[in-house]
Chain A
Amino acid sequence: MPKDGGIGSSTKRREDVRFLSGTGNYTDDINLHGQLYAHFVRSDVAHGRINSIGAEAAEAMPGVVKVFTAKDFEGVGGVPCGWQITSIDGNPMQEPKHPVLAEGKVRHVGDPIAVVVAESLEQARDAGEALEIDIEMLDAVVDMKKALEPGATKVHDDLDSNLCYDWGFVQENKDAVDEAIKNADHVTTLELVNNRLVANPMEPRVAVGDYNRSTDEHTLYTTSQNPHVIRLLMGAFVLGIPEHKLRVVAPDVGGGFGTKIFHYAEEAFCTFAAKALNRPVKWTSTRSEAFMSDAHGRDHVTKIELAMDADNNFTAVRTETHANMGAYLSTFAPSVPTWLHGTLMAGNYKTPLIYVNVKAVFTNTVPVDAYRGAGRPEATFQLERVIDKAARERGVSPIELRRQNFITEFPYATPVAVEYDTGDYHATMDKVLEMSDHAGFEARAAESKKNGKLRGFGIAHYIEACGIAPSNLVGQLGARAGLYESATVRVNATGSISVMTGSHSHGQGHETSFAQVVSEMIGIDANQIDIIHGDTAKGPMGMGTYGSRSIAVGGSAMVRATEKIIAKAKKIAAHLMEASEGDIELKDGQFTVAGTDKSVAWGDVTLAAYVPHNYPLEDIEPGLEETAFYDPANFTYPSGGYVCEVEVDPETGKADVVAFSAADDFGNVINPMIVEGQVHGGVAQGFGQAMMENCAYDADGQLISASYMDYAMPRALDLPMIQVDHSCQTPCTHNPLGVKGCGEAGAIGSPPAFVNAVIDALNRGGHKVDHIDMPLSPDRIWSAMHAAK
Chain B
Amino acid sequence: MELTGSRTIEADRETVWNALLDRDVLKDCVPGCTEMSGNAEDGFEATVVQKVGPVKATFKGQVTLEDMEKPASLKISGEGKGGAAGFASGGAKVKLREEGGATVLDYDVEAKVGGKIAQLGSRIIDSFAKKMADQFFTDFKDAVEGPGDDAEATGPNAASDDAAAPAEAKKEKKGWFAKLKSS
Contact = CB atoms under 8 A, between A and B. Distances in A.
Interface of A: 44-45, 109, 125, 128-129, 288, 291-292, 698, 700, 702-707, 709-710
B120 A44 contact: no
Interface string B92-120: 00000000000000000000111110111
A292 B114 CA distance: 13
B126 to A, nearest CB: 11
A483 B136 CA distance: 62
Interface in B50-92: 54, 83-84, 86-87
A704 B116 contact: no
B120 A702 contact: no
B112 A292 contact: no
A142 to B, nearest CB: 13
A707 B114 contact: no
A255 to B, nearest CB: 22
Nearest to A42: B115
B118 A702 contact: yes
Contact of B122 (A109, A125, A291, A705): A705
A710 B122 contact: yes
B123 interface: yes
B116 A288 contact: yes
Contacts of B87: 44-45
Interface in B114-154: 114-116, 118-120, 122-123
B112 A700 contact: yes
Nearest to B58: A129
Given A44-B115, A109-B115, A702-B122, 20 more contacts: A44-B86, A44-B87, A44-B116, A44-B118, A45-B114, A45-B115, A109-B114, A288-B116, A288-B119, A288-B120, A292-B119, A698-B122, A700-B114, A702-B114, A702-B115, A702-B118, A704-B118, A705-B119, A706-B119, A707-B120
B112 to A, nearest CB: 6
Contacts of A710: 120, 122-123
A698 B118 contact: yes
A58 to B, nearest CB: 11
A361 B84 CA distance: 30
A44 B83 CA distance: 10
Q: Which 3 A-B pairs have the closest CB atoms?
A: A44-B115, A706-B119, A704-B122
Contacts of A128: 84
10 contacts: A44-B116, A109-B115, A129-B83, A288-B120, A702-B113, A702-B118, A702-B119, A704-B122, A705-B119, A709-B120
A44 B119 CA distance: 10
B1 to A, nearest CB: 10
Contacts of B123: 709-710
Contacts of B83: 129
A705 B121 CA distance: 9
B104 to A, nearest CB: 32
B114 A44 contact: yes
B147 to A, nearest CB: 37
Nearest to B123: A710
Contacts of B113: 702
Contacts of B115: 44-45, 109, 702
Contact of B120 (A45, A700, A706): A706
Nearest to A130: B83
Contacts of A705: 119, 122
A705 B115 CA distance: 11
Contacts of A709: 54, 120, 123
A129 B114 CA distance: 16
